[in-house]
Amino acid sequence: MKNNKKLDDIRIYFFVKRSIDILTSLFLMLLLLPMFLIISAMIIFTSGFPIFFYQERMGKDWKSFMILKFRTMIKDADKMGPGITSSDDKRITSIGKILRKLKLDELPQLINVIRGDMSLIGPRPELPKYVNYFKTDYSSILNIKPGITDYAAIKFIDEESLICDENIESIYLNKILPSKIVLYKKYINDISFLTDIKILFSTLKGLVT
C-alpha cells in the first residue's frame, strides 16, 4: 500500500513539474524576448550567423536530443576541438565570453524545456561520448529529464576556470564529471518540490554574486 502511495506521489510530482516547466518557460520567453533580440543582434554584428548553436546531448531514457544555446564560439568550433572548453579557449568569441560569464548563452534552453527535452531543474545533459564512459552511473541518472540547473551546475558555475590544462578532456573525465555524477545522484535521491525550490534560489544567488 505504501509503495502504491509513493508511486502516486512520484507521478503527481512529475506531472506538476512538467506543467510548471511549460508555464514558467513560456512566461520567461515572453519576458526575455527583448534580451533574446539584443543578444541575437550582438552575435550577428560581431561574428555573423548562425545565432544559435546546436549540440547533441543524451536525454531521458537514453534518447539523444539537440541542445540549443546562443553561439559563443567561432563557426564550426565543434569540429576544431573537444566538446568542452577552458576559460582561455581561442574558439570563444568576444561577445561569447560575456554571454558565458553571465550564463546568458543558456537561455535558449527554455525552448528545449517547452519541447520536452529538458526540465528547468535536473541533472545537466551530457555529450553522448562522455556518457559512454560512465554507463552504469547514467543508467539511473537518465531515468529523469536533464535540466537547465541542478546541484552540479551551482557547484561548477565557473567550470571553465577549472580546466586550464592542455589535457582538458582528461581533467573533465577523471575529476570534474565524476564529481558531477555524485551530485546528479544526490538530486535524484533528494528529488522533491522543496529540493527544486532550493536549487532555483541557489542558482539565482550564484548568478548575482
pLDDT attached to residue 86: 80
pLDDT attached to residue 76: 84
pLDDT of 3 over the 80 cut: no
Q: What gap in Å lies between CA 123 and CA 187, rounded to an integer?
A: 8
pLDDT attached to residue 7: 64
pLDDT attached to residue 6: 63
| Mean pLDDT on 105-130 | 98
State the pTM of this model: 0.92
pLDDT band at 4; cut points 50, 70, 90: low
Number of structural domains in the chain: 1
Give, in order, the Cα–Cα distances in Å from 188 to each of 13, 19, 122, 130.
13, 19, 8, 20
Q: What gap in Å lies between CA 168 and CA 171, rounded to an integer?
A: 5
User: Domain containing 13: what range?
Assistant: 2-208
CB 169 within 8 A of CB 84: yes
Residue 188, Cβ neighbours under 10 Å: how many? Answer: 16
Q: What gap in Å lies between CA 9 and CA 62, rounded to an integer?
A: 24
pLDDT of 159 over the 70 cut: yes
| Mean pLDDT on 146-156 | 97
* Positive/negative CA dihedral, 3, 140, 150, 107: negative
pLDDT band at 161; cut points 50, 70, 90: confident
CB 58 within 8 A of CB 134: no
Instruction: Give pLDDT tens digits for 21-32.
Output: 999 999 999 999
Instruction: Give pLDDT tens digits for 16-59.
Output: 999 999 999 999 999 999 999 999 999 999 999 999 999 999 99
Residue 4, Cβ neighbours under 10 Å: how many? Answer: 8
Instruction: Give pLDDT tens digits for 65-112.
Output: 999 999 999 988 878 878 788 878 889 999 999 999 999 999 999 999
pLDDT of 207 over the 60 cut: yes
pLDDT attached to residue 93: 95
DSSP string, 128-179: HHHHGGGHHHHHHHTTS--EEE-HHHHHTTTHHHH--SS-HHHHIIIIIHHH
